C-alpha cells in the first residue's frame, strides 16, 4: 500500500490562479480556495494537501527578494511536517525564482517544485490541471521512505527540469520552458519516467538553513555591436553597483578595442564583480577560443560557463550577500553551488 504524503502548496499568483474580468477582459488573480473547488481531482491523490497563499496573490513580474524570502520561510517553517512543496507561480519570472530559491534553501533534501500555467485554471483548455497534479505526484515520490527529488525543480508541460537550469522560451505555446544545458529530470507520459542519473545527489550533512540576505545591487549588461564607451561606462559606474552579468557573443566574445577592456578592468579594480555569460541559448563561455574573449581571464572576469541568465543574476545576488572577498567570490561562482553550472 502506498503511504499518503503531505504536500504544502505555496500559492504566489500568476495565470494559474486567475480569472477573467468580463467587463475589461483583463486577467486578475482570485483567492486560492477556489483552486480546490476548480480541481476536485486533488482529493483523489494519495496526498494530504494544505496551502499557504500570498495575500494578495501577485503577477510574477512583481517578484522580488522579499517574496523569495517569504517562499523560503514558509518552506523552512513547514519543513519537518511536509514531504514536499509545490510552488504555484507566474511563468514570466519562474526561472528566476526557481534559481533564487535553489540558492536560498541551503542543504535542501526534500522536493520543491515550481509550476504554473499558460492558461488560467478556469479555462476549458487549461494546462494548469496537468501541471499541478503531476507536480504534486512528483513531490510525493519516495524510495525506501526517502524523497526521490531533493532539489528545487520546475515542472511544465510534461517535463521536470532542474529549476536553476530553466529559462522561459515561449509566451504562446504550452511548452513555455526549456533547460538548454542540462537534461530533463523526469517526463510525464503514460508513465512518470524519472531520470535518476540526472537528479541532484549531493548528500546533505547539515539541516536545512535559509540564506536570504541577497544583494540587489546588480545589473545585466548585454553587449551589442556598436556599443559605445559612454554607454558602457554609464552602466559600469551606476551608483551602488556591486555586480554585473555581462552577456557576450557566442563563446564569450566582446569587442576587442582597447577602451572596452580598460573600462571593464577599471570597474573590476573599483570592486564591481563582472560575470561573463553567453547570449546564446546553448553552449559555454570558452575564454580562450577566440582573441575577442581571451583577455577577460587576465583582468579577473568570472567565467559563467553555461549558466542561464536567470541563475547567473540570482547567484550573483546570493554570493554578494555573503560578503566575501572578490577572489573567494570568483572561485565560488565558477563552481556549482546547486547544480546550476557545469
Ligand atoms: N504574467 C503572468 C505571471 O508571470 C504570466 C503567467 O503566469 O504565466 O505572473
Digit-coded pLDDT (tens) for 153-164 = 999 999 999 999
DSSP states along 251-291: TTB----HHHHHHHHHHHHTT-EEEEEESSSSS---TTSSH
Atom of ligand 1 nearest to the CA of 117: 8
Q: Summarize the confidence of residues 51-66 as an average pLDDT.
A: 93
Which distant-in-sequence residues (6+ apart) come within 8 Å of 33 by Cβ?
Answer: none
Residue 111 to residue 83: CA distance in whole angstroms: 8
Ligand 1 centroid to Cα of residue 204, in Å, is 33
Q: Summarize the confidence of residues 123-143 as an average pLDDT.
A: 93
Where are the alpha helices (H) located in the chain, listed in sequence order?
A: 33-38, 65-77, 94-104, 128-140, 229-236, 258-269, 291-294, 309-321, 326-334
Cell of 125: 483548455
pLDDT, tens only, 240-253:
999 999 999 999 99
Q: Residue 24: what pLDDT?
A: 84
Beta carbon of 131 within 6 Å of any ligand 1 atom? no
The answer to whether residue 1 scores a pLDDT higher than 60 is no
Q: Residue 285: what pLDDT?
A: 93
Beta carbon of 59 within 6 Å of any ligand 1 atom? yes
The helix-helix angle for 94-104 and 309-321 (nearest 10°) equals 40
Strands 186-188 and 159-162: antiparallel
Atom of ligand 1 nearest to the CA of 94: 4
pLDDT above 70: percentage of residues in the chain: 96
Q: For all residues of the chain together, what is the average pLDDT?
A: 93
Indicate which residue's Cα is closest to atom 8 of ligand 1: 91
Ligand 1 centroid to Cα of residue 323, in Å, is 33
Task: Check if 134 is active-site.
Answer: no
Question: Sorting pLDDT into bands at 50, 70 and 90, what band is 56?
Answer: confident
Q: Residue 327: what pLDDT?
A: 94
Q: Residue 111: what pLDDT?
A: 98
Cell of 315: 547567484
Task: Point out the catalytic residue in the list 2, 5, 12, 15.
Answer: 15
Beta carbon of 28 within 6 Å of any ligand 1 atom? no
Indicate the top mutation candidate among 20, 90, 167 to test ligand 1's pocket, ranked by most ligand atoms within 8 A of CB: 90
Question: Sorting pLDDT into bands at 50, 70 and 90, what band is 34?
Answer: low
Ligand 1 centroid to Cα of residue 8, in Å, is 21
The answer to whether residue 230 scores a pLDDT higher than 90 is yes
Question: Sorting pLDDT into bands at 50, 70 and 90, what band is 292?
Answer: low
The answer to whether residue 280 scores a pLDDT higher than 80 is yes
Amino acid at each position: 500500500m502506498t503511504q499518503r504524503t503531505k504536500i504544502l502548496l505555496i500559492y504566489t499568483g500568476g495565470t494559474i490562479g486567475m480569472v477573467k474580468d468580463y467587463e475589461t477582459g483583463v486577467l486578475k488573480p482570485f483567492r486560492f480556495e477556489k483552486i480546490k473547488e476548480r480541481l476536485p481531482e486533488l482529493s483523489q491523490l494519495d496526498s494530504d494537501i494544505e496551502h499557504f497563499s500570498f495575500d494578495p496573490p501577485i503577477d510574477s513580474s512583481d517578484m522580488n527578494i522579499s517574496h523569495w524570502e517569504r517562499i523560503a520561510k514558509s518552506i523552512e517553517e513547514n519543513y519537518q511536517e511536509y514531504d514536499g512543496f509545490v510552488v504555484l507561480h507566474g511563468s514570466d519570472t519562474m526561472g528566476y525564482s526557481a534559481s533564487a530559491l535553489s540558492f536560498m534553501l541551503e542543504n535542501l533534501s526534500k522536493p520543491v517544485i515550481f509550476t504554473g500555467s499558460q492558461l488560467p485554471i478556469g479555462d476549458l483548455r487549461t494546462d494548469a490541471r496537468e501541471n499541478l497534479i503531476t507536480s504534486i505526484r512528483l513531490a510525493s515520490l519516495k524510495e525506501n521512505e526517502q524523497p526521490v527529488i531533493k532539489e528545487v525543480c520546475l515542472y511544465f508541460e510534461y517535463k521536470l527540469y532542474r529549476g536553476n537550469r530553466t529559462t522561459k522560451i515561449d509566451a504562446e505555446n504550452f511548452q513555455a520552458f526549456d533547460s538548454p544545458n542540462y537534461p530533463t529530470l523526469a517526463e510525464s507520459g503514460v508513465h512518470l519516467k524519472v531520470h535518476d542519473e540526472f537528479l541532484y545527489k549531493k548528500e546533505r550533512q547539515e539541516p536545512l538553513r535559509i540564506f536570504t540576505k541577497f544583494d540587489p545591487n546588480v545589473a545585466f549588461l548585454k553587449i551589442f555591436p556598436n556599443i559605445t564607451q559612454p554607454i558602457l561606462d554609464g552602466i559600469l559606474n551606476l551608483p551602488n553597483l556591486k555586480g554585473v552579468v555581462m552577456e557576450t557573443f557566442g563563446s564569450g566574445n566582446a569587442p576587442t578595442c582597447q577602451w572596452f577592456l580598460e573600462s571593464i578592468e577599471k570597474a573590476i579594480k573599483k570592486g564591481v564583480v563582472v560575470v561573463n555569460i553567453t547570449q546564446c541559448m546553448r553552449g559555454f563561455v570558452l575564454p580562450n577560443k577566440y582573441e575577442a574573449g581571451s583577455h577577460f581571464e587576465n583582468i579577473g572576469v568570472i567565467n559563467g560557463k553555461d549558466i542561464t541568465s536567470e541563475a547567473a543574476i540570482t547567484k550573483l545576488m546570493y554570493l554578494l550577500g555573503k560578503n566575501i572577498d572578490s577572489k573567494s567570490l570568483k572561485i565560488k561562482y565558477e563552481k556549482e553551488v546547486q547544480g546550476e553550472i557545469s
